[in-house]
Amino acid sequence: MTAPLGVGIIGVGLMGADHAERVAGRVAGARLVAVADRDTDRADALAARFDGVRRITDPLDLVADDEVDAVIIASPGFVHEEQVLACLEHGKYVLCEKPLTMDSESSLRVVEAEHKGARRLVQVGFMRRFDPEYARMKEVLDSGHLGRTLLLHNIHRNKSVPDPSFRSEMIVRDSLVHEVDVARFLFGEEVTEITVLSPAPTSAAQQGVLDPQVALFRMEGGAMVTSEVFVNAQVGYEVRCEAVAERGTVTIGQNLAGIHTTRVAATGPSTGSAPGTWGGTVPGDYRERFARAYDLEVQAWVDASRRGERVGPTSWDGYAATAVCTAGMESLHTGEPVRVDLADRTALPG
User: What letter does residue 204 receive in the DSSP assignment?
Assistant: T
Indicate the angle between helix axes 177-187 and 315-334, nearest 10 degrees: 120
Rounded Cα distance between 254 and 153, Å, is 13
Residues in the chain: 350
Among 256, 341, 346, 347, binds its own copies (CB under 8 A): 256
Closer residue to its own copies, CB minimum distance, 266 or 347: 266
Among 49, 116, 145, 307, binds its own copies (CB under 8 A): 145
Please identify, using beta-carbon distances, which residue of 237 and 316 lies nearer to its own copies: 237
Question: 3-class DSSP state for residue 72?
Answer: strand
334 is a contact residue toward its own copies (CB under 8 A) = no
Residue 101 or 299 with smaller CB distance to its own copies = 299
Q: How far is CA 79 from the centre of its chain?
A: 17
Between 122 and 155, whose beta carbon lies closer to its own copies? 155
Q: What backbone phi and psi angles, to 5 degrees, belong to 11?
A: 95, 110
Pairing, β 93-96 against β 122-124: parallel
d(CA 88, CA 78): 17
Paired with 218 in beta bridges are 193, 224
Binding status of residue 57 toward its own copies by CB under 8 A: no
Residue 224 within binding range of its own copies, rule CB under 8 A: yes
Of 76, 91, 276, 349, the residue at the interface with its own copies (CB under 8 A) is 276
Range 78-137, binding its own copies (CB under 8 A): 132-133, 136-137
Least distance between its own copies and beta carbon 346 (Å): 25
Cβ proximity to its own copies: between 259 and 347 the closer is 259
Is 48 a residue that touches its own copies (CB under 8 A)? no
Residue list 152-181, contact with its own copies (CB under 8 A): 153, 159-160
What is the side-by-side strand order in the sheet with 54-55? 54-55, 30-36, 5-10, 70-73, 93-96, 122-124
Work out the number of other CB atoms within 10 angstroms of the CB of residue 28.
Answer: 9
Using CB under 8 A as the binding rule, whether residue 206 contacts its own copies is answered as no
Residue 257 contacts its own copies per CB under 8 A: yes
Work out how close the CB of 251 gets to its own copies at its nearest, in angstroms, rounded to a whole number.
Answer: 5
Q: Of the listed pieces 107-115, 233-241, 310-318, 340-348, which binds its own copies according to CB under 8 A?
A: 233-241
Which residue from 49, 116, 119, 148 is in contact with its own copies, where contact means CB under 8 A?
148
Q: Binding to its own copies by residue 27, rule CB under 8 A? A: yes
Among 283, 312, 313, 318, binds its own copies (CB under 8 A): 283
Shortest approach of its own copies to residue 128 CB, angstroms?
Answer: 13
Q: Which listed residue (60, 120, 206, 226) binds its own copies by CB under 8 A?
A: 226
Site for its own copies in 297-316 (CB under 8 A): 299, 303
- List Cβ neighbours of 333 (8 Å cut-off, separation of 6 or more): none
CA 241 to the chain's CA centroid = 15
Q: Which residues contact 308 (CB under 8 A, 6 or more apart)?
A: 119
C-beta separation of 84 from 94 below 8 A = yes
- CB count within 10 Å of CB 234 equals 11
Is 116 or 145 the residue whose CB approaches its own copies more closely?
145
